[in-house]
């Protein structure tokens, strides 16, 4: 019985530092994630265009280009920065410029999203939608390199 309890304590003493090291490594990724692009490491600053703390900004992301997967990549980017992306899909007709539509008369929120993904802000209030922002990704939008998480 005593031998078994010593074994459990020894395992616990070994496992705790490993777990703490893993947690600190994950915590460091929050401010700037590294990504692989063309064989070199790229630093992505995730503080640009971040959603304000304590505010839920509901966003719809629509791909209005021929770039496959653009809405999914933009959704991942915005969610990483704290936005609540509630819908994503495809929009027609196709367009070249990326447009951020302000649906709830909060131009400062639209400007934050513009800082995160680019584009221009257009005010189009629509109270029938349960959205704050609609993002129409044009063919000019290119996704940043995605973070590499082994």
Distance in angstroms (rounded) separating the CA atoms of residues 5 and 148: 40
Q: Are 92 and 115 in contact (CB under 8 A)?
A: no
Distance in angstroms (rounded) separating the CA atoms of residues 146 and 44: 9
What is the reported pLDDT for 103?
95
Residue 118, token pair as written in the block: 């680019």
Angle between helices 107-117 and 70-80 (to 10 degrees): 110
SS (H, E, C) 31-50: CEEEEEECCEEEEEECCCCC
What's CA 130's distance to the chain center, in Å? 20
Task: Give alpha helix (H) positions in the chain.
Answer: 2-28, 70-80, 107-117
What is the reported pLDDT for 123?
94
Peptide bond into 93 cis (omega under 30): yes
* Mean pLDDT, 10 residues at a time, the chain of 150 residues: 67 66 48 39 56 92 94 94 95 93 94 94 91 95 76
Domains observed in the chain: 2-45 (no CATH), 58-137 (3.30.70.2390)
What is the reported pLDDT for 148?
67
Distance in angstroms (rounded) separating the CA atoms of residues 104 and 129: 9
pTM of the predicted model as reported, rounded to 2 decimal places: 0.66
What is the reported pLDDT for 29?
41
């Amino acid at each position: 019985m005593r031998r078994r309890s010593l074994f459990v304590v020894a395992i616990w003493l070994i496992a705790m530092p490993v777990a703490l090291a893993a947690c600190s490594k994950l915590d460091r990724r929050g401010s700037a994630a590294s990504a692989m692009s063309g064989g070199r490491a790229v630093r992505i600053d995730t503080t640009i265009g971040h959603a304000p703390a304590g505010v839920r900004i509901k966003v719809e992301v629509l791909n209005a280009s021929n770039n496959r997967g653009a809405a999914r990549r933009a959704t991942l980017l915005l969610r990483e920065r704290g936005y609540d992306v509630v819908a994503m899909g495809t929009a027609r007709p196709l367009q070249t410029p990326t447009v951020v539509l302000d649906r709830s008369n909060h131009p400062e929120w639209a400007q934050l999203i513009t800082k995160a993904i680019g584009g221009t802000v257009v005010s189009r209030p629509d109270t029938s939608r349960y959205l704050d922002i609609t993002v129409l990704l044009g063919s000019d939008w290119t996704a940043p390199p995605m973070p590499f998480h082994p």
